[in-house]
Structure 1
Amino acid sequence: MSPRTGRWMPVGLVALAAIPVLAGTTRLVEILGGPELIPTDPRFAASPAPVVVHVAAAIGYALLGAFQFSAGIRRRHPGWHRRTGRVLVALGLAVALSALWMTLVFPSKEGTGDLLYVFRLLFGSGMAACIILGLAAIRRRDVARHRAWMTRAYALALGAGTQAFTVGFGEALFGAGVVRTDLMMGAGWAVNLAVAEWFVRRPSARQTRSSRTRAALAGSR
């Protein structure tokens, strides 16, 4: 990755997160007693707690997490990167666990079915597992695996941003339907995870992985 590309990566990630962040903020304002700027979801009225936790944690995780991918910030401010990383572990687990909480507690949204229910359980659990594995890796000082697992976790967290495109284009091309919608929602997570895997396994990453790991370990001594 070129330095110029690396500088623009946080901007691109924030842009991808903009749709779910704005929608989540609007929903949070509504739940806390503000105006109803988007259609009310009656499922949340009886048990708003998991929604509040999920939205608040997701906003922080999406926006703060984007800047963890800036190589320049990591080099110039390693202490900030480590401190923010600790916060992001807590926020990320809150996002994943509250997503599982909502999936298990709330009835399915109208127009979705059992397949999306399974996807949410699978990818929510996967995000939590990636964060835990990433934390375990950095405790072993395995920087390369830490970055790989945290990249996968962040990709899954931004699934809602990509779903705005997969569902929008999918319905335009194939029409609406419960199974189609479920598959197009699942495609959002799958696309992000595929991009994350490419990012982790790209040739330039493999070539520089060992040198970056040595530099990071030397700087932590």
Structure 2
Amino acid sequence: MVELWGGPAVLPVNPGYVASPVPVAVHIVSASLYAVLGAFQFSAGIRRRHPGWHRAAGRLLVLSGLAVALSALWLNQFHARPGSGELLYLFRLVFASAMLASIVVGFTAIRRRDVTRHRTWMIRAYAIALAAGTQAFTLGIGATVFGTGELSTALLSGAGWALNLTVAEWAIRKNRAPRSHTRRYAQHS
């Protein structure tokens, strides 16, 4: 952000970002809000003790999540870094669209009072959004092992999204399993 508004250059300059800094700023601010505030949405204690806060924060998170996904799509379409490659372009297109769809499905579910479906899709959206943090590791470690290049960068970025979604699916299934097991056990007793 500092760099966009005239501060010292830390990263290689992307002429598209300099010419049109608003989508980059929207992406950074909304992603930061989504990552930090979103973490509190998964606390069962906060949801139980402060349901009004959960709803209000959720509405803000839906808006910021949509801004993250839409700005990611915009940046991917109009400001892709030179040399990032077609595969990375495709991954970004797929995962930003998946995040957008997950938020819409999750929001629609809670409007119908389907809490389980809402939670499932919001977990997926959050996992996709946080992949940028995971990619710092997959790209950093992967570059040491596999080297840098268009294909390895795309695959290692994809690995960040895949890893996050794998953990999200595990968490979704883990949270469902004890309830169904408990119900079956109670019915047979």
Q: 1:197 aligns with which of 163, 169, 174?
A: 169
SS of alignment partner, residue 34 of structure 1: coil
1:78 aligned onto 2:51: yes
Counterpart residue type for residue 208 of structure 1: R
Q: TM-score, normalised by structure 2?
A: 0.90
Q: 2:35 aligns with which of 55, 62, 68?
A: 62
Structure 1 distance, partners of 2:55, 2:179, is: 21
Query: Shift of the alpha carbon at 1:171?
Result: 1.2
- The number of residue pairs the alignment matches comes to 181
Query: Shift of the alpha carbon at 1:164?
Result: 0.5
Match of 1:124 in 2: 96
SS of alignment partner, residue 31 of structure 1: coil
Distance verdict in 2 for CA 1:136–1:101, change over 3 Å: same
Deviation digits for residues 73-125 of structure 1, max 9, x if unmatched? 1111111011100000000000000000011111x324421000000000000
Q: 1:88 aligns with which of 54, 58, 61?
A: 61
- Unaligned regions of 5+ residues in structure 2, if any? 183-189
Structure 1 distance, partners of 2:105, 2:61, is: 14
Query: Shift of the alpha carbon at 1:157?
Result: 0.3
Structure 2 distance, partners of 1:155, 1:69, is: 12
Deviates more, 1:193-202 or 1:167-176: 167-176
CA contact (8 A) 1:162 1:188 kept: yes
Q: TM-score, normalised by structure 1?
A: 0.78
CA contact (8 A) 1:138 1:146 kept: yes
- Unaligned regions of 5+ residues in structure 1, if any? 1-27, 212-221
Query: Shift of the alpha carbon at 1:34?
Result: 3.1
Identity of aligned residues (%): 60
Considering only aligned residues, what root-mean-square deviation do their CA atoms show, in Å?
Answer: 1.6
Query: Shift of the alpha carbon at 1:53?
Result: 0.8
